[in-house]
């Protein structure tokens, strides 16, 4: 990610509609698809740490991130357990250390995504679960992908094949952010028609409070459906898998 945006992201995680809605969706999926309540949890790519307090309901949380500035923000928040791990390095944990691994909008930042998933599988205990979210559909490529240093956006068959190659058995998947898919697609395609995506712009701007609240409620309303159904399209993709 462009380093200029870390302070902004840290401030927005508790307020911006996208973070609020995604949080409700992934937490509902964890509740539905895992049994971990007092085990060991790893948040892989925790960013500035906004999800860590919410993951504590599922067990004892460890976390890593591949950006030193993001880790510094976590430490400022009092999350001393967050470790810095240079991208591409093996995880600093023994085999079969965790009951649950989470990874939210991380895999798209990694060049060798299969190798990263193999590491997640390695540190999972047999029968342990991984819950992840990634951006969906290459046609939605835009400024946010450039500023975030993404390598790709995923379709489900692509993510499924990566999981299988890493020794993970998919259990459930669903696209999400369905209700806002068409307007977001129209905006991003319209921008691309006028200029190429660029790294000096971000989608994460707080609008009027009433609009931000409405979008948060619309987005979060998908949580029960995403946890139980496989929705056919959306701006993002959620998947749950089990270590074989």
Mean per-residue pLDDT, 78-90: 94
Q: Is the pLDDT of residue 9 over 80?
A: no
pLDDT(189) > 70? yes
> Does residue 213 surpass a pLDDT of 80?
yes
Side-chain-facing half-sphere of 241: CA atoms under 13 Å = 25
Give the model's confidence band at 195: pLDDT under 50 very low, under 70 low, under 90 confident, else very high.
Answer: confident
We find that the CATH architecture of domain 3-243 is: 3-Layer(aba) Sandwich (3.40)
Q: Is the pLDDT of residue 53 over 90?
A: yes
pLDDT at 180 over 60: yes
With a cut of 90, say whether residue 45 has pLDDT above it. Answer: yes
Give the mean pLDDT of the chain: 92
């Amino acid at each position: 990610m462009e380093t200029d945006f870390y302070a902004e992201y840290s401030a927005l995680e508790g307020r911006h509609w996208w973070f609020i809605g995604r949080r409700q969706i992934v937490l509902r999926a964890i509740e539905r698809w895992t049994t971990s309540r007092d085990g060991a949890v790893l948040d892989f790519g925790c960013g500035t740490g906004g999800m860590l307090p919410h993951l504590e309901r599922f067990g004892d949380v460890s976390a890593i991130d591949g950006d030193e500035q993001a880790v510094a923000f976590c430490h400022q928040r009092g999350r001393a357990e967050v470790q810095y791990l240079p991208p591409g390095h093996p995880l600093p944990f023994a085999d079969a250390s965790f009951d649950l691994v989470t990874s939210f909008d991380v895999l798209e930042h990694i060049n060798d995504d299969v190798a990263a998933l193999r590491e997640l599988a390695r540190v999972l205990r047999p029968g342990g679960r991984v819950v992840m979210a990634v951006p969906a559909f290459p046609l939605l490529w835009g400024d946010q992908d450039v500023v975030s240093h993404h390598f790709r956006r995923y379709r489900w068959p692509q993510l499924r094949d990566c999981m299988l190659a890493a020794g993970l058995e998919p259990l459930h998947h669903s696209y999400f952010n369905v209700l806002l898919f068409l307007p977001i697609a129209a905006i991003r395609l319209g921008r691309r028609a006028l200029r190429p995506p660029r790294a000096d712009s971000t989608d994460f701007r707080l609008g009027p409070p009433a609009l931000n609240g409405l979008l948060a409620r619309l987005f979060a309303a998908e949580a029960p459906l995403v946890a139980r159904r496989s929705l056919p399209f959306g701006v993002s993709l959620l998947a749950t898998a089990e270590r074989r």
